Amino acid sequence: MKGLRFLLSRAAQGLIVMFGVSALVFFALFLTGDPAVLMMAPDSTAAEIDAFREAMGFDDPIIVQYGRFLVDALQGDLGSSLRYSRPAMDLLTERLGATALLALSALLWSSLLGFLLGAIAAVRKNSPIDFAIRVISLLGQAVPVFWLALMLIILFSLNLRWLPSSGYGSLSHLVMPSVALGAYYLSAITRLVRSSLIETLGENYVRTARAKGLTEWRIVVRHALRNAMIPVVTLQGMYLASLMGGALVTEIIFAWPGIGRLAVEAIQNRDFPVVQAVVLFAALVFVVANFLVDVAYTWLNPRIRL
Partner 1 sequence: MKNISAFALGLALAFPATATFAQDDTLVIGRSASTNALDPGFLREAATIVDNIFDTMVMRDEDMKLVPGLATGWTAVDDTTWEFTLREGVTFHNGEPFDAEAVKFSLDRVLNPDNKAPTISYIRTISSVEVVDPMTVRIVTAKPDPLLPTRMSRYPAYIVPPKYIAEHGREHFANNPVGTGAYTFVDFVPDERVTLEANPDYWRGQPDIKTVIWRPIPDATARITSLITGEVGLIEDVPVDLVPLLQQTPDADLVQVENGGLTIYLGLRMDKAPLDNVKVRQALNHAIDRVSITENLLGGLATPKGTQVGAADFGYLDVPVPEFDPELSKQLLAEAGFEDGFEITLQSSFRYMKNAEVAQTIAQGFEDIGLDVNQETMEWSVYTQTVPFEGPIYMLGWGSTQTLDADAAIYAIMKSGEPYSGARIDALDALLDQSRSTVDPEARAAILQEIQEVAAEQVPLVTLYQEDKLMGKAPNVNFDGRADARIPVFSITMD
Nearer to partner 1, 78 or 91 (CB): 91
When asked if residue 262 is in the footprint of partner 1 (CB under 8 A), the reply is: yes
Ramachandran angles phi, psi of 87, nearest 5°: -55, 135
Asked if 203 contacts 180 with a C-beta cutoff of 8 angstroms, the reply is no
When asked if residue 164 is in the footprint of partner 1 (CB under 8 A), the reply is: yes
When asked if residue 141 is in the footprint of partner 1 (CB under 8 A), the reply is: no
Among 7, 163, 296, 300, binds partner 1 (CB under 8 A): 163
CA distances from 121 to 44, 109, 111, 198 (A): 64, 18, 15, 9
Q: Tally Cβ neighbours within 10 Å of residue 263.
A: 24
Beta strand ranges found along the chain (DSSP E)? none
When asked if residue 45 is in the footprint of partner 1 (CB under 8 A), the reply is: yes
> Which residues, 210 to 249, sit near partner 1 by CB under 8 A?
none
Q: How far is the CB of 63 from partner 1 (least distance, A)?
A: 23
Among 1, 2, 31, 43, binds partner 1 (CB under 8 A): 43
CA distances from 12 to 5, 15, 16 (A): 11, 5, 7
Contacts of 294 (CB under 8 A, 6+ apart): 6, 7, 10
Q: How far is the CB of 50 from partner 1 (least distance, A)?
A: 11
Among 19, 27, 131, 162, binds partner 1 (CB under 8 A): 162
> Which residues, 102 to 131, sit near partner 1 by CB under 8 A?
109, 113
CA distances from 292 to 114, 164, 194, 280 (A): 21, 36, 24, 18
Which parts of this chain interact with partner 1 (CB under 8 A)? 32-34, 37-46, 48-49, 51-52, 55, 81, 83-86, 91, 94-95, 109, 113, 150, 153-158, 161-173, 175-176, 179, 183, 252-255, 257, 261-262, 265, 267-270
